[in-house]
């Protein structure tokens, strides 16, 4: 016979979760009937199964099964993952440094954290992680994935990545490191009277750090300010509201939440005078800007407070509430949706999992609050000015996967202590880099070679004539020449990455923002151009009525 502890844990866990789910599922008599059935099934398993049942495994399986019917962001948190969730809003941790979510049944990179091992290795927003240490991730929870990806610094983790139209996973071996969660790694003047602030995440010190940055920039009378929210996966709602307050007028709506329960319907307003109420503002975003980043960008756009530049954001607009459970456990449950001041739903429908369609997420156009400009709906934040989206060639992916640019940068900086901040990647530097690649026996498969590989498979099956096979062999030789052209096409990427790796090794991480990013990142180049041109800035914010 099973012990009393078994029943206490099993039925206590099930009953608690079912009570919680009564807030989510349809409130009919069927709910209580379902509770009784589950209660009876659990009792019969406990009493009659051929072997002893692991209590925690059985309870967890039932919980995960329930959550699997909901959206990708609702999670059951055991004590350790709960500690990690709290840890993620402050301090630091050891791992590879990525924000992950389940999207279309795939473990997906929302955003690699800036300067993290994952970022240096070349992981990008939208990558699908299909294996971790050789094990498929199909059916894995984000909690379990985080557990496998984190670990002591200096240790390695192998991940298989599906990206774009790749025919097979790209293997990455990433060395874990210490991930610092500083909210504002850099702020300063970047030329032409323009101020720049980089915000990495909305942790519990984000508003305080950003307010200090804005105050310092204010002393220098900036002509405009760029708030860089690219690859910022979000964080705490109160920090998003606090940061919006620094730029919006008092008592302006920042964000609204709407849920099934009336206590989830709330409006959050700016509650203090802004530090920079009138200075022209540009918010830079990309597909890695999510959640709290989208709240700020949406509020700035809807109140015509500034211009949003970059690529369409991720579209994560679901509110998760942390509901306590016994023994240090918790349920992170989606209880509402986020809406911008104009009424746009931030959540993209294709990322909503089992949630029903939301009319505010499918509507195409909304009007801003002041000038009545038309802004796009449909989930996420569509920029006022869109820039070219980064696409990486097989060469660039392989250089990042093997971290060869960073490795070369470290060696080059050590061998050239005379480097100044004005350093540029010249032809001799490129020649030295190519020698380094040869020494490393670097090779990769181009996009054309990927296609040729498919033809090779058919040839091995005897489906081609000898003449065709000869042509294929000639084509292989020709493709080697094409690789030289691909290297030339990738020179802007290579120069930028080499310059960043070398300068950061010599002068520290902060130099990359004014010396590399502001000169080479399309979103920031365009942002500065708009702020320097008062006429262009005003035109973008003018009424479209």
Catalytic residues: 291, 302, 316
Reduced to 3 states (helix: H, G, I; strand: E, B; else coil), residue 127 is coil
Contact 287, 390 (CB under 8 A): no
Give the C-alpha separation, 295 to 193, whole Å: 27
Give the C-alpha separation, 216 to 235, whole Å: 24
Tell me, rounded to whole angstroms, the distance of Cα 341 from its chain centroid: 24
Give the C-alpha separation, 523 to 318, whole Å: 27
Give the C-alpha separation, 330 to 443, whole Å: 48
Reduced to 3 states (helix: H, G, I; strand: E, B; else coil), residue 493 is helix
Give the C-alpha separation, 352 to 318, whole Å: 8
Residues 6+ apart with CB under 8 A from 33: none
Tell me phi and psi for residue 529, to 5 degrees.
-60, -40
CA distances from 11 to 56, 91, 375, 447 (A): 11, 37, 50, 55
Going 361 to 366 to 369 to 370, the CA torsion angle's sign is positive
Give the C-alpha separation, 112 to 95, whole Å: 12
| E-strand stretches of 306-427 | 307-310, 318-324, 330-339, 365-367, 374-376, 385-386
Residues 6+ apart with CB under 8 A from 242: 206, 207, 211
Reduced to 3 states (helix: H, G, I; strand: E, B; else coil), residue 82 is helix
Tokens of 76: 């059951």
Reduced to 3 states (helix: H, G, I; strand: E, B; else coil), residue 197 is strand
Tokens of 396: 């660039």
Reduced to 3 states (helix: H, G, I; strand: E, B; else coil), residue 274 is coil
Give the C-alpha separation, 250 to 137, whole Å: 47
Chain position carrying tokens 């830079």: 284
Give the C-alpha separation, 235 to 245, whole Å: 16
Rg of the chain over Cα atoms, rounded to whole angstroms, equals: 26
């Amino acid at each position: 016979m099973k012990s009393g502890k078994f029943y206490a844990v099993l039925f206590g866990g099930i009953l608690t979760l079912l009570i919680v789910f009564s807030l989510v599922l349809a409130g009919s008599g069927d709910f209580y009937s379902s509770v009784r059935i589950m209660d009876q099934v659990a009792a019969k398993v406990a009493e009659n199964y051929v072997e002893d049942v692991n209590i925690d495994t059985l309870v967890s399986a039932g919980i995960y099964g329930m959550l699997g019917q909901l959206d990708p962001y609702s999670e059951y948190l055991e004590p350790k993952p709960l500690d990690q969730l709290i840890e993620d809003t402050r301090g630091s941790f050891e791992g590879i440094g990525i924000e992950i979510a389940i999207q279309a049944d795939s473990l997906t990179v929302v955003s690699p954290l800036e300067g993290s091992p994952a970022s240096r290795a070349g992981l990008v927003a939208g990558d699908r992680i299909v294996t971790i240490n050789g094990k498929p991730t199909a059916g894995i929870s984000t909690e379990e994935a985080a557990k496998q990806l984190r670990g002591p610094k200096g240790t390695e983790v192998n991940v298989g990545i599906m990206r774009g139209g790749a025919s097979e996973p790209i293997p990455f071996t990433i060395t874990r490191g210490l991930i610092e969660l500083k909210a504002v790694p850099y702020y300063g003047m970047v030329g032409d009277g323009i101020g720049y602030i980089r915000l990495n995440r909305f942790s519990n010190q984000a508003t305080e750090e950003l307010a200090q940055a804005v105050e310092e920039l204010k002393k220098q009378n900036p002509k405009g300010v760029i708030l860089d929210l690219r690859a910022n996966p979000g964080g705490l709602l109160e920090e998003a509201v606090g940061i919006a307050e620094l730029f919006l007028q008092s008592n302006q709506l920042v964000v609204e939440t709407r849920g099934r329960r009336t206590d989830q319907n709330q409006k959050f307003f700016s509650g203090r005078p802004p530090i920079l109420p009138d200075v022209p503002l540009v918010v830079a975003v990309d597909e890695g800007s999510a959640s709290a980043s989208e709240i700020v960008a949406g509020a700035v756009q809807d109140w015509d407070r500034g211009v949003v530049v970059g690529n369409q954001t991720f579209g994560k607009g679901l509110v998760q509430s942390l509901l306590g459970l016994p023994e240090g456990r918790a349920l992170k449950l989606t209880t509402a949706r986020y809406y911008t001041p104009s009424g746009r739903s931030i959540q993209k429908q294709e990322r909503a999992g089992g949630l029903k369609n939301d009319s505010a997420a499918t509507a195409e156009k909304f009007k801003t609050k002041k000038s009545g400009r038309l802004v796009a709906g449909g989930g996420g934040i569509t920029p006022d000015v869109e820039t070219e989206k980064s696409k990486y060639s097989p060469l660039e992916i392989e250089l990042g996967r093997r971290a060869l640019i960073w490795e070369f940068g470290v060696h080059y900086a050590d061998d050239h202590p005379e480097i100044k901040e004005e350093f540029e990647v010249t032809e001799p530097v490129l020649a030295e880099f190519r020698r380094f690649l040869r020494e490393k026996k670097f090779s990769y498969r181009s996009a054309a070679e990927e296609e040729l590989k498919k033809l090779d498979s058919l040839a091995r099956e005897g489906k081609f004539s000898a003449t065709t096979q000869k042509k294929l062999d000639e084509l292989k030789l020709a493709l080697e020449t094409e690789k030289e052209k691909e290297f030339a096409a990738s020179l802007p990427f290579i120069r930028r990455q080499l310059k960043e790796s070398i300068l950061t090794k010599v002068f520290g991480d902060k130099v990359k923002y004014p010396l590399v990013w502001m000169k080479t990142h399309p979103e920031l180049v365009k942002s500065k151009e708009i702020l320097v041109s008062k006429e262009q800035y005003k035109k973008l914010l003018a009424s479209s009525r």
